[in-house]
Amino acid sequence: MRRLVFFALLVSLTAFSSRSTLACGGVCRNQWSATPQKGAAPLSVYVYGESTDFNDYTIDMGGERILAPTYAYLDGAPCYGEGFHAEHRFFCPGTYTIKVTNPADPNATTSKSITVLPPPRYYLFAFAGDNEHEAYIATHVSTSQRNFFYSTVDWGDGSSETFTYALRGLYAGTPNHSYAADGEYTATVKHHYEGQYCSWDQTETILVKIPVVSLATNPSTWGYVKSMYR
């Protein structure tokens, strides 16, 4: 009877050990991921993973930074080991290769690619200033709040300036600019993005006709208000 009880206990312990191993994910593996894999600049990418090596991994963030990840001891499912994570912000559009290297086995370096896209194009509008030879360029308020470092406008007549968007009626706009002569001018608005490792410009253009046909199209003037009641 004692032998039967001992045998039953042994079988029970073996089965429990097997279930525990399966519940814990079986044989643990080193694994990691990067997210998001695609998004608009500036894009923060989070790298996280699990390791049983207990080694100090290095994470190459697309050639811009070599990070020593932050670790957290894992004591349970899916395995016993260490969890690691790191984060980096990419400012410029492009494709970047993130590499995770185990210093104990440099040949086991693994990599993943992420794609940083430019923000969506923005729309420009030309409005009259205080007279028919003045104009300003406007865009949607949400566009003016993007995370660029500064913005410039080239008025198309040989003059340009750095400016800060100001709320002008329903839009955000540049200061007024006075043109010296009648004609058609191509104005260029440039948003300059700048990070620690790179910089880039996003540019849009618009045709400005001088003299401006009607002040009533200007949402920040009295002419616009009067036009609503015609």
d(CA 125, CA 138): 5
CATH class belonging to 28-117:
mainly beta
Per the CB < 8 A criterion, the answer to whether 102 and 110 are in contact is: no
Q: How confident is the model over 219-230, as pLDDT tens digits? A: 444 333 333 333
Q: Where in the chain is the domain with CATH 2.60.40.10?
A: 125-227
pLDDT (tens digit, 9 = 90+) per residue, 63-93? Answer: 999 988 777 765 655 555 677 889 999 999 9
Q: Is the Cα dihedral 169, 182, 157, 179 positive or negative? A: negative
pLDDT (tens digit per residue) in 1-10: 444 433 343 3
pLDDT above 70 covers a percentage of the chain that reads: 74
Q: Which CATH superfamily is domain 125-227 in?
A: Immunoglobulins (2.60.40.10)
Query: Counting beta carbons within 10 angstroms of the beta carbon of residue 184, is it exposed (0 to 12), middle (13 to 18) or buried (19 or more)?
Result: exposed
pLDDT at 132 over 60: yes
Q: Which pLDDT does position 85 carry in this prediction?
A: 85
Beta bridge partners of 160: 154
Antiparallel, parallel or unpaired: β 105-117 and 94-102: antiparallel
Distance from first CA to last CA of the chain, Å, rounded? Answer: 106
State the span(s) of the chain assigned CATH 2.60.40.1930: 28-117
Distances (CA, A) of 80 to 24, 33, 76, 200: 8, 18, 6, 44
* CA-to-CA dists, residue 112 to 79, 164, 210, angstroms: 23, 38, 52
Q: What is the pTM of this model?
A: 0.71
Are the C-beta atoms of 128 and 214 separated by less than 8 Å?
yes
The predicted structure's pLDDT at residue 115 = 98
Nearest to residue 74, comparing CAs of 57, 101, 52?
A: 52
- Neighbouring C-beta atoms of residue 17, cutoff 10 Å: 10
Check residue 184 and give its pLDDT. Answer: 97
pLDDT digits (tens, 9 = 90+) for 153-190: 999 999 999 999 999 999 999 999 999 999 999 999 99
**Regarding predicted confidence, which is higher, 20 or 214?**
214
C-alpha span between 222 and 204 (Å, rounded):
28
User: Region 51-55: what's the mean pLDDT?
Assistant: 69
